[in-house]
Amino acid sequence: MSIAAKANTIWQYANPKKFLATSERVLPFFWATAAICLVVGLVWGFFFTPDDFRQGSTVKIIYLHVPSALMAINCWLMMLVTSLVWLVRRHHVSALAARAAAPIGVVMTLIALVTGAIWGQPMWGTWWAWDPRLTSFLILFLFYLGYIALWEAIEDPDTAADLTSVLCLVGSVFAILSRYAVNFWNQGLHQGASVMRAGAVTGTDTTEKVSNVFFYPLFLCIIGFVLLFIALVLYRTGTEIRARRIRALLARERAGA
């Protein structure tokens, strides 16, 4: 297959009708696999793994904390990509997908922050510390809020899509800048990102690692969160498309058509 033909197969989903038809067909699959992964992963993680020798059973919040934190960042990345697609190719579905994803990202960020606080209290003796990671997530949370507020504030949907896309681009640059600034400002309590480190998986690093016992259910939970995210985004994008459609129809009616 030529590259052009391949590109065509992706862009055909930019048609709202095609998108709706396809997403309705695949949604049940995503809902089901997400549910299976999450139920199995969480039950396995909560009830069938040993307590950590240092952290006790509090460690088990990792099964919510790590996947939600990952998705909080990946959701912003997805919004960045779809915003770029909107700015370059002007596909409405892309802009609406970004709009649909933002509230999911906020919830993921909030879950990560709250579970982090619950985990941090017994571990560090405090609900909140101005640690770089925590602070970065708080700033990410603010970016999400600003992005959503801008979408809500602007009446014309195309204008809103353009402005929020530029905000997403500029915001991404500043979010990365903030991450480094915060790191510079305060070295923190939070352990490194230990899940995906080579040492963690092979078990050679004994001080800060997630051992295999914890890793398999955690991996399942991460997959579950990814699938859940995809399902939610597809579902919400469908809702946004229908809302846009209603808006367009109402506008036509007012215009006397």
Partner 1 sequence: MTLIVTDLAIARGGVPVLEGLGFALEPGQALVVRGPNGIGKTTLLRTIAGLQPPLAGQIAGAEDRIAYAGHSDGIKPTLTVTENLNFWAAVFGARGILGALDAYDLHELADRHAGNLSAGQKRRLGLARLLVTGRPIWVLDEPTVSLDKEAVGKFADAVRAHLGQGGSALIATHIDLGLEAATLDVGPFRAVPKPVDDFDGDFL
Partner 2 sequence: MIALLFRDLKLAMRAGGGFGLGLVFFLIVTTLVPFAVGPQSDLLASIAPGVLWLGALLACLLSLDRLLALDWEDGTLDLLATAPLPLEAVVSVKALAHWITTGLPLVLAAPVFGVLLNLPGPGFFWLVVSLAVGTPALSVVGTFGAALTVGLKRGGLLLSLLVLPLYVPTLIFGAEVARRGAQGMETGTPLLMLGGITLATIALLPFASAAVLRVNLR
Q: State the residues that interact with partner 1 by CB under 8 A.
A: 14-17, 91-93, 156-158, 244-245, 247-249, 251-252, 255, 257
Q: Which of 174, 186, 202, 168 is nearest to 84 (CA)?
A: 168
Q: Which of partner 1, partner 2, none lies near 251, with the C-beta cut-off 5 to 8 A by kind?
A: partner 1
Rg of the chain taking only CA atoms, in angstroms: 21
Between CA 152 and CA 235 the distance in angstroms is: 19
Return the number of the residue (108 or 175) whose C-beta is nearest partner 2. Answer: 175
Q: Is position 14 an interface residue for partner 2 (rule: CB under 8 A)?
A: no
| Residue 89 contact among partner 1, partner 2, none, beta carbon within 5 to 8 Å by kind | none
* Contact flag: residue 159 with partner 2 (CB under 8 A): yes
Q: How far, in Å, CA of 83 to CA of 98, rounded?
A: 7
As a whole number of angstroms, the distance between CA 220 and CA 113 comes to 21
Stretch (H or E) spanning 142: helix 132-153
In angstroms, rounded to a whole number, what is the distance separating the alpha carbons of residues 250 and 65?
43
Count Cβ atoms below 10 Å from residue 44 Cβ, excluding itself: 16
Residues in the chain: 257
CB of 101 to partner 1, least distance (A): 19
The residue among 164 and 237 lying less far from partner 2, judged by its C-beta, is 164
Chain-centroid distance of CA 204 in Å reads 31
From the list partner 2, partner 1, none, pick the one residue 157 interacts with, judged by a Cβ distance below 5 to 8 Å according to partner type: partner 1
Decide whether 57 or 159 has the Cβ nearer to partner 2: 159
7 binds, among partner 1, partner 2, none (CB under 5 to 8 A by kind): none
Which three-class secondary structure state does DSSP give residue 79?
helix
Binder of partner 2 out of 27, 167, 189, 201 (CB under 8 A): 167
Nearest alpha carbon to residue 227 among 76, 34, 23, 24: 34
243 contacts which partner out of partner 2, partner 1, none, CB within 5 to 8 A by kind?
none
Give the binding site for partner 2 (CB under 8 A).
Answer: 139, 142-143, 145-146, 149-150, 153-154, 159, 162-163, 166-167, 169-171, 174, 177-178, 180-182, 184-185
